[in-house]
Amino acid sequence: MPVGGLTPQATDDAAELVVRNANIHTGDPRRPHAEALAVRDGVITVVGDDQDVAPHVGPATKVVDALGRRMIPGLNDAHLHVIRGGLNYVLELRWDGVRSLRQGLAMLREQAARTPKGQWVRVVGGWSAEQFAERRLPTVAELNAAAPDTPVFVLHLYQSAVLNRAAVQAAGFTRDTPDPRGGQIVRGRDGEPTGMLLAAPSALILYSTLAAAPVLEGEDKKVSTRHFLRELNRFGLTSAIDAAGGFQNFPENYSTVVELAQAGELSLRIAYHLFPQTAGQELADLARWIEMASPEDGDAWLRLNGAGENLTWAAADFENFAQPRPHLGDYEPEFEKAVRLLMEHGWGFRLHATYDETIRRDLAVFEKLAAEGLFPAGNRWLFDHAETASPESLDRVAALGGAMSVQNRLSFQGEAFLRRYGPGRAADAPPIREMLDRGLTVAAGTDATRVSTYNPWVALHWLVSGRTAGDLTLRPPGNRVDRQTALRMFTVAGAELTGEEQVKGVLRPGCYADLAVLSHDYFNVPEPEIAHIESLLTVTGGRIVYAAGEYAGIDEELPPVTPEWSPVKHFGGYQASRPAGVRQAEALGEAVAESELHRSWRARRGQLDGTGDVPFDPCFVL
């Protein structure tokens, strides 16, 4: 008997999963559009229409009806601090998506009341004052009123942090505490710390203060990481490139994702980088890691991709646009040694480089080594961020076979950039069109979680619209990209940075079964609505790792969030601007409206429609 239009057939190579009745953007130029696909052993076996996949439906095949919704390849964030973010996720109160400071303070007050003694309330990244109706930061007085006794740490980008009285005490700041290099402890007339910390321009003061807060131990780190990965799956992410970062030591801080990978419990593919943590010890760390591992060690779920995003601390240019560009010292001698060491041993790397002044100096080192034959084509390397990269520098990157990775940091810092550098430079920050016109691989990411939000649709909206979270247009049409190009930057281009473009980023036979069925059609919704898209069904390696709306409950079960007082347990992660029920109803309405095929579905809910079919169910096993 046909089920959902498919006639089951007993086959030796039956698919484990079939998704049918979809509006598929495959990303494959040889077959850009399709209606259905079949999956076996985590790999796509068939892409076509319902009739093409029908012969692959067997007794145990799970068949999902997409209801005519848009399906895309799983998203790949090319610059995400996913490992560090996972270790802290359940401890953080996320203001991502919160539209008013009043709402944020209400959440903070409620969370402080349930947080046990000795723990902190921490708001760490993913928001900007410009997204709030009030267009301002919380004051120290407001934090003190909301949480008189519980330490509260609120990080605003890599510019500043606001601490309440209890957090100042917990962090150990007194009138005698010296300002760290590149940072400022703001003090009152009496010399006592006020609760404001400023990056001036180095964010180290913000990093180190946050590091004083309690951390998770043991199994709680695994639970936190799994819930963070599920939160990323919520938005259709199936892969990410971890850019490492400060206070992320190898191998100890990587052990959680390694253990999850070994247990088959990752729901997101991760390619990771290694970042020397101690100034003056970078060469020794890189040499030690070269002895321990090689790029591409691992498997399809967890693999080493190279070094960076810093190689030496002295070469790092901080991106605090509220402060003048930092003037770096004579860093080239040690930097050259680090790059030479990596290239001699076949290691690629990525480099945090915000300003063209830094990029030009780095390129001079690369060109010197390239003249010695030390920049072979097989060693993948790239610049991250590159907000002020010049056309001349991009020509030099292309000549050396490099790539670029851009992030929507100016979604959250665009107003500060505009105030400092003016509208002309803001229009080209970063120069995405110049990069693409040179044929460079240009991948996109978020740089979450301590600056931008991890929601990739906010970044996709920024790529397409040129608008900030505060709804300010910075980039003109000439430096924007169309929706298809933006999606490619979040799929295939990221796969090119890890050498996986033959198996990831497109939906075609032989590629990983990584996909997302969307709440709204990315290619047709009004431009402002792009930022509000979510996934209703996310599949990684053929596994249903996230399901919502009509599909709720068919994804893999996770252990409950711990600890019991976790902000995530009570508030969740990204705060969508519309209630979930409303969004799901809108999504269903849009899907039904998009296709004549669904005119009969309403009548089939809970009853036969005279065709001999079974009652409607969006997911069933034959």
pTM: 0.92
Domains, the chain, ordered by start: 17-74+516-621 (2.30.40.10), 80-210 (3.10.310.70)
From the number of C-beta atoms within 10 Å of its C-beta (0-12, 13-18, 19+), residue 119 rates as middle
From the number of C-beta atoms within 10 Å of its C-beta (0-12, 13-18, 19+), residue 184 rates as middle
Q: Which of 306, 512, 315, 320 minimizes the C-alpha distance to 403? A: 306
Give the C-alpha separation, 267 to 358, whole Å.
37
Residues in the chain where the model's pLDDT stays below 70: 1-11, 577-622
pLDDT of residue 577: 65
127 to each of 66, 158, 193, 314, how far by Cα in Å? 33, 11, 25, 28
Q: Are 11 and 55 in contact (CB under 8 A)?
A: yes
Kindly write down the DSSP assignment for every residue of 299-354, as one continuous string.
Answer: -SSEEEEEE-S-SSGGG-----TTSPPP---S-HHHHHHHHHHHHHTT--EEEEE-
| 183-187, strands of its sheet edge to edge | 121-124, 152-156, 160-163, 193-199, 183-187
Q: Are 590 and 536 in contact (CB under 8 A)?
A: no
- 3-class DSSP state for residue 58? coil
Residues 559/546/97/194 CA torsion (nearest 10 deg): 30
